[in-house]
Amino acid sequence: GQNIDQPTEMTATEGAIVQINCTYQTSGFNGLFWYQQHAGEAPTFLSYNVLDGLEEKGRFSSFLSRSKGYSYLLLKELQMKDSASYLCAVRDSNYQLIWGAGTKLIIKP
Amino acid sequence: NAGVTQTPKFRVLKTGQSMTLLCAQDMNHEYMYWYRQDPGMGLRLIHYSVGEGTTAKGEVPDGYNVSRLKKQNFLLGLESAAPSQTSVYFCATSSGGDVETQYFGPGTRLLVL
Protein backbone atom coordinates (compact mmCIF):
# COMPACT_ATOMS: atom_id res chain seq x y z
CA GLY A 1 0.00 0.00 0.00
CA GLN A 2 0.91 3.64 -0.24
CA ASN A 3 1.77 5.54 2.90
CA ILE A 4 2.82 9.03 3.90
CA ASP A 5 3.91 9.57 7.51
CA GLN A 6 4.19 12.90 9.30
CA PRO A 7 4.12 13.82 12.98
CA THR A 8 0.63 14.73 14.10
CA GLU A 9 1.56 17.87 16.02
CA MET A 10 4.61 19.98 16.80
CA THR A 11 5.16 23.02 18.99
CA ALA A 12 7.78 25.71 18.47
CA THR A 13 8.62 29.18 19.73
CA GLU A 14 8.25 32.41 17.79
CA GLY A 15 11.56 33.35 16.14
CA ALA A 16 12.94 29.80 16.31
CA ILE A 17 13.48 27.14 13.61
CA VAL A 18 11.38 24.00 13.17
CA GLN A 19 11.80 20.96 10.93
CA ILE A 20 8.76 18.91 9.89
CA ASN A 21 9.60 15.45 8.60
CA CYS A 22 7.78 13.36 6.04
CA THR A 23 8.51 9.75 5.07
CA TYR A 24 6.79 8.01 2.22
CA GLN A 25 6.26 4.65 0.60
CA THR A 26 4.50 4.97 -2.73
CA SER A 27 4.14 3.11 -5.99
CA GLY A 28 6.49 5.25 -8.00
CA PHE A 29 7.66 8.80 -7.40
CA ASN A 30 7.09 11.85 -9.54
CA GLY A 31 7.66 14.66 -7.10
CA LEU A 32 6.92 15.70 -3.53
CA PHE A 33 4.85 18.70 -2.52
CA TRP A 34 4.39 20.67 0.69
CA TYR A 35 1.19 22.62 1.30
CA GLN A 36 0.17 24.91 4.14
CA GLN A 37 -3.36 24.83 5.52
CA HIS A 38 -4.62 27.31 8.09
CA ALA A 39 -7.53 26.12 10.24
CA GLY A 40 -10.80 26.27 8.34
CA GLU A 41 -9.12 27.25 5.09
CA ALA A 42 -7.95 25.60 1.89
CA PRO A 43 -4.43 24.20 1.39
CA THR A 44 -1.99 26.48 -0.42
CA PHE A 45 1.17 25.41 -2.25
CA LEU A 46 4.52 25.92 -0.52
CA SER A 47 7.18 23.90 -2.31
CA TYR A 48 8.01 21.15 -4.79
CA ASN A 49 10.95 18.73 -4.89
CA VAL A 50 11.65 16.14 -7.56
CA LEU A 51 15.44 15.84 -7.33
CA ASP A 52 17.51 15.16 -4.21
CA GLY A 53 18.61 18.18 -2.29
CA LEU A 54 17.44 21.39 -0.76
CA GLU A 55 15.04 23.92 -2.29
CA GLU A 56 15.02 27.30 -0.56
CA LYS A 57 12.24 29.85 -0.77
CA GLY A 58 12.57 32.70 1.68
CA ARG A 59 12.03 31.52 5.26
CA PHE A 60 10.93 28.08 4.02
CA SER A 61 13.16 25.30 2.68
CA SER A 62 12.33 21.76 1.63
CA PHE A 63 14.69 18.81 1.38
CA LEU A 64 14.32 15.52 -0.45
CA SER A 65 16.16 12.18 -0.33
CA ARG A 66 14.56 9.79 -2.80
CA SER A 67 16.73 6.84 -1.76
CA LYS A 68 15.51 7.20 1.83
CA GLY A 69 11.91 8.08 0.97
CA TYR A 70 12.29 11.15 3.13
CA SER A 71 11.62 14.86 3.02
CA TYR A 72 11.55 17.69 5.49
CA LEU A 73 10.19 21.21 5.54
CA LEU A 74 12.32 23.74 7.41
CA LEU A 75 10.74 26.92 8.68
CA LYS A 76 13.04 29.67 9.94
CA GLU A 77 12.35 32.82 11.97
CA LEU A 78 8.96 31.49 12.97
CA GLN A 79 6.07 33.93 13.10
CA MET A 80 2.70 33.52 14.78
CA LYS A 81 1.06 33.41 11.34
CA ASP A 82 3.00 30.18 10.62
CA SER A 83 0.63 28.37 12.99
CA ALA A 84 -1.06 25.99 10.57
CA SER A 85 -1.09 22.42 9.35
CA TYR A 86 1.61 21.39 6.89
CA LEU A 87 0.68 18.71 4.38
CA CYS A 88 3.17 16.47 2.60
CA ALA A 89 2.02 14.91 -0.69
CA VAL A 90 3.76 12.57 -3.13
CA ARG A 91 2.85 12.21 -6.80
CA ASP A 92 2.86 8.50 -7.61
CA SER A 93 3.42 6.54 -10.81
CA ASN A 94 -0.14 7.35 -11.94
CA TYR A 95 0.53 11.05 -11.39
CA GLN A 96 -1.97 11.10 -8.53
CA LEU A 97 -1.18 12.95 -5.31
CA ILE A 98 -1.03 10.81 -2.17
CA TRP A 99 -1.46 13.01 0.91
CA GLY A 100 -0.19 12.72 4.43
CA ALA A 101 -2.55 13.53 7.30
CA GLY A 102 -0.66 16.75 7.99
CA THR A 103 1.37 18.16 10.86
CA LYS A 104 -0.30 20.75 13.05
CA LEU A 105 2.30 23.35 14.00
CA ILE A 106 1.63 25.43 17.10
CA ILE A 107 3.72 28.58 17.57
CA LYS A 108 4.08 29.95 21.09
CA PRO A 109 5.19 33.52 21.88
CA ASN B 1 -10.25 36.86 -10.76
CA ALA B 2 -12.15 34.67 -8.33
CA GLY B 3 -9.82 31.67 -8.78
CA VAL B 4 -11.63 28.56 -7.55
CA THR B 5 -15.04 28.89 -5.92
CA GLN B 6 -17.30 26.30 -4.33
CA THR B 7 -21.03 26.32 -3.69
CA PRO B 8 -22.44 25.88 -1.08
CA LYS B 9 -20.07 26.66 1.80
CA PHE B 10 -22.02 24.59 4.32
CA ARG B 11 -24.91 22.14 4.13
CA VAL B 12 -26.81 19.81 6.43
CA LEU B 13 -28.50 16.79 4.87
CA LYS B 14 -30.62 13.98 6.18
CA THR B 15 -29.64 10.41 5.35
CA GLY B 16 -30.93 9.49 1.92
CA GLN B 17 -31.16 13.04 0.57
CA SER B 18 -29.30 14.07 -2.53
CA MET B 19 -27.30 17.17 -3.36
CA THR B 20 -24.83 18.61 -5.84
CA LEU B 21 -21.68 20.52 -5.01
CA LEU B 22 -20.50 23.00 -7.60
CA CYS B 23 -16.90 23.94 -8.30
CA ALA B 24 -16.17 26.81 -10.67
CA GLN B 25 -12.80 28.10 -11.87
CA ASP B 26 -11.71 31.06 -13.98
CA MET B 27 -8.07 29.94 -14.27
CA ASN B 28 -8.56 28.10 -17.58
CA HIS B 29 -7.12 24.94 -16.04
CA GLU B 30 -7.66 21.60 -17.72
CA TYR B 31 -7.45 19.42 -14.62
CA MET B 32 -10.02 19.49 -11.83
CA TYR B 33 -10.30 17.34 -8.70
CA TRP B 34 -12.69 16.59 -5.87
CA TYR B 35 -11.19 15.65 -2.50
CA ARG B 36 -12.61 14.94 0.92
CA GLN B 37 -10.77 15.78 4.11
CA ASP B 38 -11.53 13.98 7.36
CA PRO B 39 -9.89 14.46 10.77
CA GLY B 40 -6.67 12.52 11.17
CA MET B 41 -6.56 11.55 7.51
CA GLY B 42 -4.94 12.97 4.43
CA LEU B 43 -6.91 14.44 1.59
CA ARG B 44 -8.49 11.62 -0.40
CA LEU B 45 -9.27 11.91 -4.08
CA ILE B 46 -12.89 11.15 -4.99
CA HIS B 47 -13.01 11.86 -8.72
CA TYR B 48 -11.04 13.95 -11.15
CA SER B 49 -11.19 15.29 -14.70
CA VAL B 50 -8.42 15.91 -17.21
CA GLY B 51 -10.57 18.01 -19.50
CA GLU B 52 -14.07 19.01 -20.54
CA GLY B 53 -16.30 15.97 -20.98
CA THR B 54 -13.94 13.58 -19.15
CA THR B 55 -14.08 12.15 -15.64
CA ALA B 56 -12.23 9.40 -13.80
CA LYS B 57 -12.44 7.65 -10.44
CA GLY B 58 -10.05 8.43 -7.64
CA GLU B 59 -9.31 6.62 -4.42
CA VAL B 60 -12.80 6.81 -2.82
CA PRO B 61 -15.43 7.18 -5.59
CA ASP B 62 -18.25 5.06 -4.13
CA GLY B 63 -21.42 7.01 -3.39
CA TYR B 64 -20.41 9.96 -5.57
CA ASN B 65 -20.86 10.94 -9.20
CA VAL B 66 -19.34 13.80 -11.17
CA SER B 67 -19.82 15.69 -14.39
CA ARG B 68 -17.67 18.15 -16.35
CA LEU B 69 -19.91 19.50 -19.09
CA LYS B 70 -18.05 22.81 -19.24
CA LYS B 71 -14.32 23.36 -18.79
CA GLN B 72 -14.84 25.81 -15.96
CA ASN B 73 -17.27 23.73 -13.89
CA PHE B 74 -16.92 20.41 -12.07
CA LEU B 75 -19.97 19.04 -10.23
CA LEU B 76 -19.95 16.47 -7.45
CA GLY B 77 -23.20 14.65 -6.75
CA LEU B 78 -24.34 12.62 -3.78
CA GLU B 79 -27.33 10.53 -4.84
CA SER B 80 -28.26 9.17 -1.41
CA ALA B 81 -26.27 10.77 1.39
CA ALA B 82 -24.95 8.67 4.26
CA PRO B 83 -23.48 9.78 7.62
CA SER B 84 -20.10 8.42 6.43
CA GLN B 85 -20.10 11.20 3.84
CA THR B 86 -19.94 13.87 6.54
CA SER B 87 -16.72 15.65 5.64
CA VAL B 88 -15.14 18.77 4.22
CA TYR B 89 -15.04 18.66 0.43
CA PHE B 90 -12.39 20.53 -1.52
CA CYS B 91 -12.25 21.17 -5.21
CA ALA B 92 -8.86 21.79 -6.79
CA THR B 93 -7.57 22.68 -10.24
CA SER B 94 -4.23 22.49 -12.00
CA SER B 95 -2.82 23.25 -15.41
CA GLY B 96 -0.84 20.01 -15.63
CA GLY B 97 2.88 19.95 -16.32
CA ASP B 98 5.78 18.86 -14.16
CA VAL B 99 5.20 21.00 -11.11
CA GLU B 100 1.42 20.95 -11.44
CA THR B 101 0.56 23.09 -8.45
CA GLN B 102 -3.00 22.44 -7.36
CA TYR B 103 -5.17 25.43 -6.46
CA PHE B 104 -7.91 24.74 -3.97
CA GLY B 105 -11.36 26.18 -3.46
CA PRO B 106 -12.47 27.28 0.04
CA GLY B 107 -14.23 23.99 0.79
CA THR B 108 -17.77 22.80 1.48
CA ARG B 109 -18.61 21.52 4.94
CA LEU B 110 -21.22 18.77 4.72
CA LEU B 111 -23.00 17.23 7.69
CA VAL B 112 -25.20 14.19 7.07
CA LEU B 113 -27.55 13.32 9.91
Q: How far apart are the first and last CA of chain B?
A: 36
Mean pLDDT of all residues in B51-68:
95
Confidence bin at A16 (pLDDT 50/70/90):
very high
Q: In percent, how much of chain B has pLDDT > 90?
A: 88
Give the distance between the most distant pair of CA atoms in chain B: 42
DSSP lists the bridge partners of residue B36 as B44, B89
Confidence bin at A96 (pLDDT 50/70/90):
confident
Residue pair B27/B93 in contact by the 8 Å Cβ criterion: yes
Confidence bin at A95 (pLDDT 50/70/90):
confident
**A7 contact B CB<8A:** no
- Looking at CA atoms only, how far is residue B10 from chain A in angstroms? 12
- Looking at CA atoms only, how far is residue A85 from chain B in angstroms? 11
Contact A101 B106 (CB under 8 A): no
Q: Tell me the residues of chain A between 21 and 50 that have a Cβ less than 8 Å away from chain B.
A: 31, 33, 41-45, 48, 50
Residue pair A35/A48 in contact by the 8 Å Cβ criterion: no
pLDDT one-digit tens code per residue, B1-50: 679 999 999 999 999 999 999 999 999 999 999 999 999 888 999 999 99
**A97 contact B CB<8A:** yes
